[in-house]
Structure formats: structure tokens, C-alpha cells
Amino acid sequence: MASMRDIKRRIKSVNSTQQITKAMYLVASSKLTRARNRLNDTRPFFNETRKAIADILSGSKGIKHPLLERREVKSSAVIVLAGDRGLCGGYNVNVSKAALERANASKDAKIISVGSKAREYFKARNKSIVDSYTGVSEKPSYETASKIAGKALELFLSGEADEVYLAYTEFISTLTSEPKVIKILPVDVDEFKSDNAAAKSHALTIYEPNEEAVLNYVIPKYVNTVIFGALVESSVCELGARMTAMDSATENASEMIDYLNLMYNRARQGAITQEITEIVSGSGIYD
């Protein structure tokens, strides 16, 4: 059995850790509320952009655009959205594994990593990282999303990537999230069929100078918005995962402190009993 001094030192150490995990839980909880509000704020712009694209596609037949063109897949690019810090359960590993599975399906996969954890994960596996962004996972901005989208569009239009995928974490609830991989380029026209009913009323809209020019402006904005929405959603998931992990760590620390206190009391009781026994045994010598 460990000595009382060692047990007391461990209690003090676990108690200090518990204070840290409790503070991190409170911080993550506070940030999560703001992040969820921001997620709700991004959706209207995304929906309006989808409606604009659906409007053009429903009112035009045989429209052609480079970002809608499907071609033989020789190489692909995967944008991976992970965190810059750990202590959030399996959040970083789960989305990185999903992205790796998608990357392994292509002979020549290029990685655009967002978050230091994603960069470290794919660097350790010798994957080609063509672009990397750090320090944005908890506070994503539309400017960063535009840069990421710009790189993705450059890879696709130059022919370096025939498909572009986005790996992020989908928010389900505060306690539940799951990694998701979606294709963002080429833009799938079929995805907008559900929006066509709402767009039929605008079928007579005239676009200047033409539909292709409007799509040339709208589709990149749509890609920007998809990536920005995924960045915001991933940040919500990261904060939720960190909050859950820190809450669990705090509870585990409490259980460990209770156990160590029990061990300390047993050791203390054992020491007292031993002292009493020695005193009683010593007093019998002089009888």
C-alpha cells in the first residue's frame, strides 16, 4: 500500500486536474452557445444561394458550366475539417479517419487540411497536403472559407483534381455528432431537384448577361457557403465534444478523489492501529 504522503500528493494532483477540466467544461459550454447561434445565422444565406442556383437550372435547359462538368476521375482532393487542439474525445480522429477512407479510394488524393490535428494526422501517413490552415477551428470566418474554396476551385478547374470532397463533422445534438463526407465539386445538379418546385415560379426570370455568367458568380459563392457552414458546424461539434469530454473527466476525477480519500483513511487507520499495537506490546514488557 502506498504511504499516506504519496496518497495525499496524488489527491492534490487529481484535485488540480479536476479544477482545470471543470474550467474547460465551463468555457466550452459558453462558447458552444455562441457557436450554435452562429450556425443558425449562416443557414439563411446558404438556403438563398441554393434557391438562386435551383432557379437558374430549372429555367434553363442544356446549360453548361465548368463547375457542373463531370469527368473521368483520375485524382481527387479532400478538404478535412478538424480541430487545432485535443481534449475533445474522438472528434479529431473520427473525421480524419473518414477523410482518409475517402482519400484512399483515389489513386492520387490531395489533402487540404484545416486544423493542426488534421495536418498532423495526414502528415504522419505521408499524404500529399497541398494546403493547410490552422488557428481557425474554433472561430471560423467566411474569409477563411473563401480561401479554402478558392484552392479547391483552382484544383478542380486546373484538372489537378477531378472531384473535390469535404470531410466535416455533422451536428446532431450537443451529445451526438458524426463525421460526414460530401462531394462539393463538380456541383451535382440532382441535389437541386428538390428545390425546383420552389423555383418554378421564377422560371421566366431573365439573367444578364446570361445564365452561365450568373452561375459563374453564384456557384463559387455556393461552394464558399458550404465550406463556411461546415466550418461553423464542425466548430459546434468540437466544442460539444470538448464539453462532454471535460464533464466526463471531471466526474472521473471526483470518483478518483473519493477512492484516494478512502485509501488515505485506511492507511491512516492502519498507521494508528499499528501505533496502538506497538504501545500495548511495549507496555507488556515492563509488567
Residues involved in catalysis: 88
Under 8 Å CB-to-CB from 220, ≥6 apart: which residues? 67, 149, 153
Contact 150, 135 (CB under 8 A): no
Could you give the CA distance from residue 137 to residue 97 in angstroms, rounded to a whole number?
Answer: 18
Within its chain, how far is the Cα of 176 from the centroid? 12
**b/e code 180-216 from CB counts within 10 Å (16+ = b):** ebeebbbbeeeebeebeeebeeeeeeeeeeebeebbe
Contact 92, 137 (CB under 8 A): no
